[in-house]
């Protein structure tokens, strides 16, 4: 698992990049994420993913402010990191640190054994999402293809 460094570019699949998703609640966002991952990899359980995401969320909200959330969890039996990017049609309450609704969600599902690589990815994500102009560009995307390209474009 360590022959290539983990980057956003090599964990996010175009099929797991969704633009302007309709979701009425934080719970619905988590269900959508779990369903999408299970559709992408039928060996993974959407119920287990959802349960693990919710359990992690109970420890403290992954809403980092400015409309952004980075839900994440570990998953037994997973042998690679899975990323999911969603923009939401309308912001939903996410118990974010600034109490603002969330409309930009990047989810990270990592193997149960993952440690420093997991933290490094979270750090990369937080750094990218800290750039307001970058987030604005993501929010302006109108289709999954352009959203994927924008998220995985190398910063120059």
| Active site positions, annotated | 72
- Residue identified by tokens 């302006």 is 140
Q: Which residues pair with 108 in a beta bridge?
A: 72, 83
Map tokens 């420890």 to a residue.
59
Sequence-distant (6+) residues with CB within 8 A of 135 are 66, 67, 68, 104, 129
């Amino acid at each position: 698992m360590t022959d290539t460094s983990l980057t956003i570019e090599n964990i996010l699949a175009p099929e797991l990049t969704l633009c302007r998703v309709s979701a009425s609640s934080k719970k619905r966002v988590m269900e959508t994420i779990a369903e999408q991952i299970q559709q992408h990899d039928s060996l993974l359980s959407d119920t287990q993913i959802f349960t693990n995401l919710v359990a992690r969320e109970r420890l403290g909200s992954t809403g980092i402010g400015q409309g952004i959330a980075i839900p994440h969890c570990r998953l037994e039996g997973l042998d690679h990191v899975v990323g999911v990017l969603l923009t939401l049609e309308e912001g939903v309450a996410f118990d974010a640190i600034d109490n603002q609704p969330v409309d930009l969600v990047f989810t990270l599902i990592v193997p149960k054994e993952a440690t420093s690589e997991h933290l490094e990815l979270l750090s990369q994500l937080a750094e990218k999402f800290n750039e307001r102009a970058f987030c604005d560009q993501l929010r302006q995307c109108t289709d999954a293809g352009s959203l994927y390209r924008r998220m995985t474009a190398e910063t120059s």
